[in-house]
């Protein structure tokens, strides 16, 4: 089944308009979702709208509310909310360009692939892609869709473009308020050197295929076993857990780093050959 475009429109750079299509780059279906089930009957549980102190309520009596203080709500009707929604536009105008490393990773939210809408749009699309690549810049704009307006960043991605939605400034917490109790002192040079050596020994190009969600894998195996089993219960496999630490809770950081560096180094070295004894 062909992927469905998340958005269709045009990217505008000054007087140049490029028809494009945008597709989600991630899959939500990869996650395992559960339903609550009534065990005796095997039927799924449905939810009823209930008001505190009133009980079940009619759907037509439900209205949106924003809590301005504890238990105090401003009530808004659907028509009032609709009236302030941003009109969905079919144009994404690039209004600013910044260096790729100027945007803190905290602001990046969700990625989308961007492709030219047709053959006629391809030439201008490729020019924009290569101009961004040559300049080492990211294009910024605001995309109006489904009643809201999203801040987005556009950058080259292979033969295409990658659009990433960004969080607005008021959606990101400032990290320094969480780090006030962390010491700002420099560590000992020998500890720092050992840690740097350990990082260097374990450095490798990033390959996302090397990492797996072990919890999701275990859940799928459990679901598969139960689906094939006639019993309602499946035998759980034992999982290895690290042995509990013995002795003092105070960790000798120097000893731990030295041991880690030694183990990593040994793992990379080929096994030493035993010396051959000469016959007398």
Residue 138 lies in a domain: yes
The CATH number linked to 125 is 2.40.290.10
Between 87 and 126, where is the model more confident? 126
Q: Classify burial at 244, counting beta carbons within 10 Å of its beta carbon; exposed 0-12, middle 13-18, buried 19 or more.
A: exposed
Query: What average pLDDT does the chain have?
Result: 82
pLDDT for the residue numbered 239: 52
Number of other residues whose CB lies within 10 A of the CB of residue 185: 6
Q: Are residues 86 and 147 in contact, defined by beta-carbon separation less than 8 angstroms? A: yes
User: 166 - beta bridge partners?
Assistant: 108, 151
Between 263 and 50, where is the model more confident? 50
Domain of 132, in residue numbers: 7-25+86-170
Residue 58 lies in a domain: no
Grade residue 176 by pLDDT with cuts at 50, 70 and 90.
confident
CA dist 256 and 115 (Å) reads 50
Quote the pTM value. Answer: 0.69
Q: Are residues 165 and 150 in contact, defined by beta-carbon separation less than 8 angstroms? A: yes
Residue 185 lies in a domain: no
Residue 92 lies in a domain: yes
Grade residue 2 by pLDDT with cuts at 50, 70 and 90.
low
Residue 151 lies in a domain: yes
pLDDT for the residue numbered 98: 96
Residue 222 lies in a domain: no
Residue 228 lies in a domain: no
pLDDT tens digits, 142-175: 998 877 889 999 999 999 999 999 999 999 988 8
CA dist 162 and 128 (Å) reads 12
Residue 231 lies in a domain: no
Helices vs. strands in the chain: H and E counts, helices first? 5, 14
How far lies 51's CA from each of 45, 54, 57, in Å?
19, 5, 7
3-state secondary structure at position 153: strand
% of the chain at pLDDT higher than 90: 31
pLDDT tens digits, 236-270: 555 555 555 554 434 587 788 788 888 766 555 54
- The count of structural domains within the chain is 1
pLDDT for the residue numbered 30: 61
Q: Are residues 117 and 29 in contact, defined by beta-carbon separation less than 8 angstroms? A: no
Q: Are residues 85 and 64 in contact, defined by beta-carbon separation less than 8 angstroms? A: no
């Amino acid at each position: 089944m062909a992927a469905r475009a998340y958005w269709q429109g045009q990217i505008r750079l000054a007087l140049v308009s490029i028809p494009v299509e945008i597709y989600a780059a991630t899959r939500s279906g990869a996650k395992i979702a559960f339903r609550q089930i009534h065990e005796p009957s095997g039927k799924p549980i449905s939810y009823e709208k209930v008001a505190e102190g009133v009980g079940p309520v009619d759907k037509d009596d439900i209205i949106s509310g924003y809590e301005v203080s504890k238990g105090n709500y401003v009530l808004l009707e659907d028509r009032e909310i609709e009236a302030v929604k941003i009109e969905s536009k079919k144009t994404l105008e690039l209004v600013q360009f910044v260096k790729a490393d100027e945007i803190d990773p905290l602001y990046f939210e969700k990625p989308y692939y961007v492709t030219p809408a047709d053959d006629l749009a391809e030439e201008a699309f490729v020019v924009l892609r290569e101009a961004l690549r040559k300049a080492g810049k990211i294009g910024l704009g605001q995309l109006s869709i489904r009643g809201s307006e999203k801040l987005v960043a556009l950058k080259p991605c292979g033969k295409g473009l990658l659009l990433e939605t960004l969080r607005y400034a008021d959606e990101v917490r400032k990290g320094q308020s969480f780090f006030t109790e962390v010491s700002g002192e420099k560590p000992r040079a020998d500890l720092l050197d050992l840690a740097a050596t350990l990082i260097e020994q374990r450095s490798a190009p990033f390959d996302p295929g090397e990492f797996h969600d072990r919890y999701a894998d275990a859940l799928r195996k459990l679901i598969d076993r139960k689906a094939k089993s006639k019993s309602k219960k499946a035998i759980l496999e034992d999982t290895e857990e690290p042995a509990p630490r013995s002795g003092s809770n105070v960790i000798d950081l120097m000893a731990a780093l030295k041991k880690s560096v030694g183990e990593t180094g040994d793992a990379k070295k080929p096994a030493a050959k035993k010396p051959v004894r000469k016959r007398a």
